[in-house]
Chain A
């Protein structure tokens, strides 16, 4: 096996991992604060991709700028979903919440199908074709930019959660809802914001990825499952777990594509998932569940 090939795929994996991390951080935030598993996560990302595509084709906005709009739109959407739907079933058994988000996923996925048609799309960005040589390996500039932006956003989120009042309240609500209620926090507002931010993360991730990978409406559930993989492996509810898990899974898939075959790369992450579920369901960084 060619060392250059391995190095190449490692690099590729790490760069793409930035986006995976962003996706996973959004999902784990939603779970951490509300104990809701967002089955519509992947489909929201697909919509992020399509929005970026619309911006690029109709308004000529490059997705590496347009991601802000995608994040914003999805923030509103996420907050609305939380207020209108999820809020009503906060006390219901977990199966109900899984089914609800599955329903939202179906609506989103097929809404995209109706709106954009079934054919795969890709966004043309001037950065797409550019590559840079780093010694023996080459790097897509697009991937580097995606990685950089994703890292910046994740860092911004980290600052938000540790430095701002709302962010700290969110973390408090994540640790202890009733405690937060006692202090008089408007928990519903915190929930809506958390869901919105989670959706915004994935909307931005979608925009960043849109020039790199082809996308189609039916890819949503598959992306959701990938996000779940990452979040479970990293530790459900742990932000650092989601972050590192994203990098780990991306690298594992990248290596899997090289050693097995490109279409089998998901086999690696699924196998990893099963191993984690059995040996340490809390994930690498999660708290062990009693």
Chain B
């Protein structure tokens, strides 16, 4: 399995040499959403706390680093950590409110959605950050401002983010942290009786997850150069993040990656197919259908099947 993973990474590293600019863009989105989904996976997949408001963290990270760069001249290389820290702060607040007050399942989902929507509405109505028109960053192509002329640099940054997040999750999974989270997801009371401080571990998961998502916000800001509150804080973005982990396999190391490799090309294909007919957004019908199908037929996502298939192949040879 490890050999396969290394080979795959090697392929991804050399791929830009043969890809068109459009294809590189598709891969950038695959990697970037895999990264975000992996960050979500820590708290939503492993710990089982379904957050439908992760866009809030992305948005805060994005706006923070953008504002710091444009208004205060702070390089996004540092600004991203400020953004991450602010997102982690919000994550702490949400986590504390949710976990201390014992909000589970649907109630927790709603809490996260409420915060994301509040961020969205506040951003829409705050002229200082551009309000409904959005916030724009002028493209300078200066690497010190986290901007690159060559699309391929973004490719490698996104790939790096995805690999780093996946690596982190792989490490965490192997340690007590991962075992505890997976146990918490299954039965919190049993965990408490066994000496697991469920509150602490859920909080840790939330903080790490929100921090990483916040950092992703900087990439978003300095790749797209425009921040629209509805796009950056909106529920559709939260859905994009969650669905990759679910379809690929929530609570597994490769789930979000697999999910992104399945869904991003699918989204691109249906977007271009439907857009030619003038139907924008129809690719989300495909998302919806997939979500339904996964819940009904593949509740653990695609990854277990992949793992079994690979295991079977190894056994055969």
Contact = CB atoms under 8 A, between A and B. Distances in A.
B143 interface: no
Q: Secondary structure of the A side of the interface?
A: helix
Interface string B100-113: 01110111011101
Contacts of B294: 99
B101 A277 contact: yes
Range for the number of chain B residues in contact with chain A: 35 or more
Interface stretch (B30-38, B208-216, B278-286): B278-286
Contacts of B97: 274, 277-278
Nearest to A105: B288
Given A107-B292, A267-B122, A274-B97, A281 B281 contact: no
Contacts of A89: 295-296
Nearest to B105: A94
A90 to B, nearest CB: 12
Given A85-B292, A103-B289, A113 B280 contact: yes
A69 interface: no
Contacts of B282: 110, 113-114
A95 B284 contact: no
A113 to B, nearest CB: 5
B139 interface: no
Nearest to A109: B284
A137 interface: no
B289 A107 contact: yes
A99 B295 contact: yes
B262 to A, nearest CB: 15
Interface string A101-118: 011111111110110001
A221 interface: yes
B80 to A, nearest CB: 28
Range for the number of chain A residues in contact with chain B: 35 or more
Nearest to A273: B114
Contact of A96 (B106, B279, B290, B299): B299
B191 interface: no
B118 interface: yes
Contact of B291 (A100, A108, A111, A225): A100
A5 interface: no
A106 B118 contact: no
Interface in B270-311: 274, 279-285, 287-292, 294-296, 299
A105 B50 CA distance: 17
A277 B112 CA distance: 11
B137 interface: no
B290 A114 contact: no
Interface of A: 37, 85, 88-89, 92, 94-96, 98-100, 102-111, 113-114, 118, 217-218, 221-222, 225, 228-229, 232, 261, 263-264, 266-267, 270-271, 273-274, 277-278, 281
- List the 5 closest A-B pairs by CB distance, nearest first: A106-B288, A103-B291, A107-B288, A103-B292, A110-B284
